[in-house]
């Protein structure tokens, strides 16, 4: 079904990173590492208590130094090498896809290893060890305070026009480790289907939109993806 000329769009969510030890978005009680979402993941939370938000994301950045890309991330790299037309869109803010070797990648919800100036919008990378403390970092361009380069609730995801264009043109859409209820990513499956794409889902548990996939594989991405990619590339 997949040849070198097949146009493939991949969407990954928290499930693929959870297999590397990244803590998932929020617990069953609605808290995010003991914090209310409104406190640490909204523009209003940043304005009300920037030190709390800064400390929260510094903790998550430090966690990145303790984890590694898994076999699911690496299998997607092999698929990208095989295909002529490939786009990987991730809802995750970690850098595990990059560390595995992914190239054509969009972080629609931002990136933990980057900061953005709240005044001039300049973006800086900051995963050096001296950047992982509790003190704020100032913009090199204008001197204003840098905020996490994260798409918070009530903010617009990044590069949506590019993503939408790819979805309307792809032959195969694959969603991996995503719950299917976070908008707008939850609508990607329907956009791809409406434009004639074959749709594939891979998740530990059936997501909310499982019935809209042409194929669904239940289990860990790190166990399922290597076999699927090997089959697709050999065929």
CB 8 within 8 Å of CB 18:
no
Could you confirm whether 73 is annotated as catalytic? no
- Residue pair 26/20 in contact by the 8 Å Cβ criterion: no
- Number of structural domains found in the chain: 2
Q: Are residues 166 and 221 both part of a single domain?
A: yes
The pTM of the full predicted model, rounded to 2 decimals, is: 0.94
Per the residue annotation, which of 73, 109, 149, 198 is the catalytic one?
Answer: 109
pLDDT at 27 over 60: no
Specify the pLDDT at position 214: 97
pLDDT value of residue 35: 80
Distance in angstroms (rounded) separating the CA atoms of residues 27 and 32: 6
Domain boundary among 122, 150, 178: 150
Domain range for 211 is 7-22+69-109+156-234
Asked, for residue 178, whether it belongs to a domain, the answer is yes
Average pLDDT over residues 123-131: 80
Cis status, amide bond into 184, omega within 30 of 0: yes
CB 56 within 8 A of CB 33: yes
């Amino acid at each position: 079904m997949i040849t070198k000329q097949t146009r493939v769009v991949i969407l990954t969510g928290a499930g693929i990173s959870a297999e590397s030890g990244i803590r998932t978005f929020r617990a069953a009680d609605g808290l995010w590492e003991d914090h209310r979402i409104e406190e640490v993941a909204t523009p209003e939370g940043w304005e009300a208590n920037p030190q709390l938000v800064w400390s929260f994301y510094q903790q998550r950045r430090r966690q990145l130094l303790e984890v590694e890309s898994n076999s699911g991330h690496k299998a997607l790299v092999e698929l990208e090498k095989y295909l002529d037309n490939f786009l990987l869109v991730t809802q995750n803010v970690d850098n595990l896809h990059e560390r595995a070797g992914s190239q054509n990648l969009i972080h629609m919800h931002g990136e933990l290893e980057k900061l953005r100036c709240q005044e001039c919008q300049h973006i800086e990378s900051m995963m050096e060890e001296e950047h992982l403390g509790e003190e704020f970092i100032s913009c090199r361009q204008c001197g204003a305070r840098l905020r996490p380069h994260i798409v918070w609730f009530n903010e617009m995801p990044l590069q949506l026009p590019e993503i939408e264009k790819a979805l309307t043109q792809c032959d195969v859409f694959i969603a991996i480790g995503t719950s299917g209820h976070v908008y707008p990513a939850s609508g990607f499956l329907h956009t791809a289907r409406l434009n004639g794409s074959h749709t594939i889902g891979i998740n530990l548990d059936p997501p909310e939109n499982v019935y809209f996939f042409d194929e669904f594989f239940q289990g860990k991405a790190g166990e399922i993806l290597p076999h699927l990619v090997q089959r697709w590339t050999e065929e």
